[in-house]
Amino acid sequence: MISQIKLNDCSQLTDGCVTAFANNCRQMLEIDLQNCNQTSDGSIAALLNNGQHLRELRLAHCSMITDEAFLQIDYHRTIDTLRILDLTACEQITDTAVSKIVSCAPRLRNLVLAKCRRITDRAVSSIAKLGKNLHYVHLGHCSAITDPAVIELVKACNRIRYIDLACCHRLTDVSVTHLALLPKLRRVGLVKCQAITDNSIYALARGRSGHGGGHYSGTSSLERVHLSYCVHLTLEVYHPLLFVSMVLRCSVLILMMMMLRNRACTISFSIVLD
């Protein structure tokens, strides 16, 4: 019995082959079709409709996939077993597909929608319905997302451990201040979120210890914060981050300044904690 299939980068793989797997290998647990560029909606719908125990589905860079792959899931079907779904750079995916995914797979733990550039706040509202089940969410380059959507996500999904919002340029300190309240947050990506300021970093350093008085308790669960190209950060943010990392026995702390062509100063932090 086949339980795992890895076919990533098989660029000649056709829908017929994937559909055959779907029809004849219904006990599959994990399927990896990353960069299978000829795979389209019909075969993906077949996998989702026929997989009785499907836990992990990776479809990154399957550029032909549209909302129809998910809208073709049988009306009453619930995929309770699905925990990981990767749709990186499936650029035809919209909010409609995300809504259907969440309704069919309510126990998703890891959801990757990086470079799904048509995603908006409406999709984030759908994701929020995953509640405590959601641990890992990647929304990098979903540049239409705004602060109210992030706030809604934080309030509904308080077990998030990893969130990446790189290049979501509409986000401000308001979003990061709410992210800082997540009790289990370990890693956050904010690359090129150029509206954020030092206030965001102070909030992350404080974590859940409070919002005033400059108190840094060192109780944050953070392991990594990625802030490259956040051009409004200053050297002042070095101090609270260093304090938190020292309390948590920081194994590596890298502070690097780079000069861009326009002579604007960009601070890049990579923090890795024990």
Per residue, the 3-state secondary structure of 224-258, as one string, reads EEECCCECCCCHHHHHHHHHHHHHCCEEEEEEEEE
Alpha carbons 124 and 210: distance in angstroms, whole number? 26
**Sheet containing strand 136-138, strands side by side:** 4-6, 30-32, 56-58, 84-86, 110-112, 136-138, 162-164, 187-189, 224-226, 265-273, 250-259
pTM: 0.88
Q: Which of 174, 226, 232 is nearest to 203 (CA)?
A: 174
State the pLDDT confidence band at 1, using cuts at 50, 70 and 90.
confident
Three-state SS at 85: strand
Name the least confident of 41-50, 196-205, 251-260: 251-260
> Which tokens is 231 given?
């051009």
Domain 4-273 architecture: Alpha-Beta Horseshoe (3.80)
Reported as a single tens digit per residue, the pLDDT across 212-268 is: 445 555 456 788 888 889 889 887 766 666 665 544 434 333 333 333 333 344 444
